[in-house]
A and B are shown apart, each in its own frame.
Chain A
Amino acid sequence: MNENLFTPFTIPMMLGIPITTLIIMFPTMLFPTPNQLINNRMITIQQWLTKLTSKQLMNTHNPKGQTWSLMFISLFLFITFTNLLGMLPHSFTPTAQLSMNLGMAIPLWAGTVVMGFRNKTKISLAHLLPLGTPTFLIPMLVMIETISLFIQPLALAVRLTANITAGHLLLHLIGSATLALVNISLFTALITFTILTLLTILEFAVALIQAYVFTLLVSLYLQDNT
């Protein structure tokens, strides 16, 4: 039991070669390129969903912030579909690896911070101090705000990793508990129902993507608009 619990999270190997890159690139096969005005059903549904989410995501930005829309939409789609594909049995979820989420979070956050400092230096520095603080609290508050600024990429990455990993682990545990309790049939129905509820709630891993992109969006918003 000790070894089996974390084996779904090990790097997938085939004949001794890690195939992580192939698995990360698999969702791209599910997004064909539209080349006509009226496409087939799959492309039409994807186009409709993309338009819906991009309008929702980008309408709070000024034109300068909207240049990031391609980046945000691809990020959103990538994380959504990687998480959803990880819900299939026996599959490997790349976003459950902290290395990958750090690789996504740190460059994006750093990009927004650097852009804010380059274009609006005084305003970016002014963000480090909330409005209306008493004078004697200023040094401590500046330090606290700086620390909270630097924690942002770590929080983004760890949030996504922890949520996905914890969800998958819980599913494994509760599933094996159900199998073990099948002989004591009184509890079986209850536990199976718990699995069902948990699965549905875990489908809201999609909501995590919302959290991810929205948090990123908030920081960009602050830098550019104010």
Chain B
Amino acid sequence: MASIVCVFLHSFSVPLKDKKLLEVKLGELPSWILMRDFTPKGIAGAFQRGYYRYYNKYINVKKGSIAGLSMVLAAYMLFNYCRSYKELKHERLRKYH
């Protein structure tokens, strides 16, 4: 009886590489990051998962609103601002640039 309980307890612990980010303990974080799949296929898979996560949460719903699209456009604007910050910083209203 006790051996059956021991087997069950072991099967409850998930191996490190399959854990989600929020379930990883802080000490295990570097090894978790290093175990991720950084091949091109893995990166493409990550982008695809991220895209569908956003799509299914905000757009592919029964009563989607303009917020789903405008969040994407706002992020695009922010990305372009960060990309051209080097030139934009000369256009600030300062006495000494």
Task: Give A residues with C-beta under 8 Å from B.
Answer: 4, 7-8, 12, 14, 19, 26, 29-30, 32, 40-42, 85, 88-92
Q: Closest residue to A35 on the B side, CB-wise? A: B60
Task: Decide if B91 is an interface residue (CB 8 Å cutoff).
Answer: yes
The answer to whether A90 and B81 touch (CB under 8 A), given A4-B91, A29-B72, A30-B72, is yes
Docked complex Cα distance between A218 and B63 (Å): 41
B76 engages A40 (CB within 8 Å) = no
With a cutoff of 8 Å between Cβ atoms, the chain A residues found around residue B91 in the complex are 4
B87 engages A4 (CB within 8 Å) = yes
Count contacts on B: residues with CB < 8 A to the other chain.
Answer: 22
A85 engages B64 (CB within 8 Å) = no
Q: 17 new A-B pairs (CB below 8 Å) besides A88-B73, A89-B77, A90-B77? A: A4-B91, A14-B83, A19-B83, A26-B76, A30-B69, A32-B59, A40-B59, A40-B60, A41-B63, A42-B59, A42-B64, A42-B69, A88-B80, A90-B80, A91-B76, A91-B80, A92-B80
Give the A-B contact count at a CB cut-off of 8 A.
Answer: 49
Task: Decide if B97 is an interface residue (CB 8 Å cutoff).
Answer: no
State which residues 50-74 of B face A: CB under 8 Å: 51, 55, 59-64, 68-69, 72-73
| Contact among B62, B72, B88 for A40, CB-based, below 8 A | B62
| Contact among B55, B64, B80 for A41, CB-based, below 8 A | B64
Task: Decide if B84 is an interface residue (CB 8 Å cutoff).
Answer: yes
Docked complex Cα distance between A156 and B27 (Å): 61
Closest chain-B Cβ to A1's Cβ sits at a distance in Å of: 10
